[in-house]
Copies of this chain bind each other. A is one copy, B any other.
Amino acid sequence: MPKGVPVSVPDDGLTTRQRRNAPVLGVHTGDGKGKSTAAFGMAMRAWNAGLNVAVFQFVKSAKWRVGEEAALTALGDVHEATGAGGPVSWFKMGSGWSWLRANSADADDHAAAAREGWAEIARRLQAQEHDFYVLDEFTYPLDWGWLDVSEVVHTLRERPGRQHVIVTGRRAPQELIDAADLVTEMVKVKHPMDAGRKGQKGIEW
């Protein structure tokens, strides 16, 4: 199949231009590596296209994603300094979410933090504040029952305008997969930790 040529054209009443410009809801799931990394790689591409990029991290890890955050934030700085690319915002769940700090009674309640975080994203989607959203490891609060999957999927489906959203994490709920336009499963074939290796800077974070 030649690149860029669709296999079939659906009877959806859209012009090619409308279809081409349809915002993408993507899901990177599976047990293999590369789910978040590929989302951040897409964010680079979105940055270059001048899109307003926002990353929302939903699971706190020891190292967060310091490499990706530093690189994407540096690209946001390039945008501010030179106008190249687009702006980049980076938000962390929990203590990293500034709008939760004010509400510190909930600070240690991860489920409540996830709900408040999602509410903020839903608000931003409604206000069309960004063009390209990475909801990093967002499947976990869905899988753990912290968020209502149907409400989340409905909000994502009905988001206004032309906002791309990429969701990453294992065990993506079927309802989310059904709603998505682009779903890739990252399957682990082999991992260095299987051979007793530990993570290392520049590779794992």
A: residues with CB less than 8 A from B are 3-10, 12, 16, 19-22, 24, 27-30, 32-42, 44-51, 61-62, 65-68, 70-72, 74-75, 77-78, 84-85, 131-132, 164, 177, 180-205
Extra contacts, 13 of them, besides A37-B38, A45-B203, A131-B202 (Cβ < 8 A), are A3-B61, A4-B198, A24-B192, A34-B35, A34-B184, A41-B41, A44-B72, A45-B67, A48-B71, A164-B202, A184-B187, A185-B189, A187-B187
Q: In the complex the two chains form, what is the Cα distance from A9 to B195 in whole Å?
A: 7
| Total copies of this chain within the assembly | 2
Q: Is the interface of A mostly helix, strand, loop or mixed?
A: mixed
Q: In the complex the two chains form, what is the Cα distance from A199 to B24 in whole Å?
A: 10
Residues of B within 8 A of A187 (CB): 30, 184-187
Whether A46 and B193, one on each chain, are in contact in the complex, defined by CB atoms closer than 8 angstroms, is no
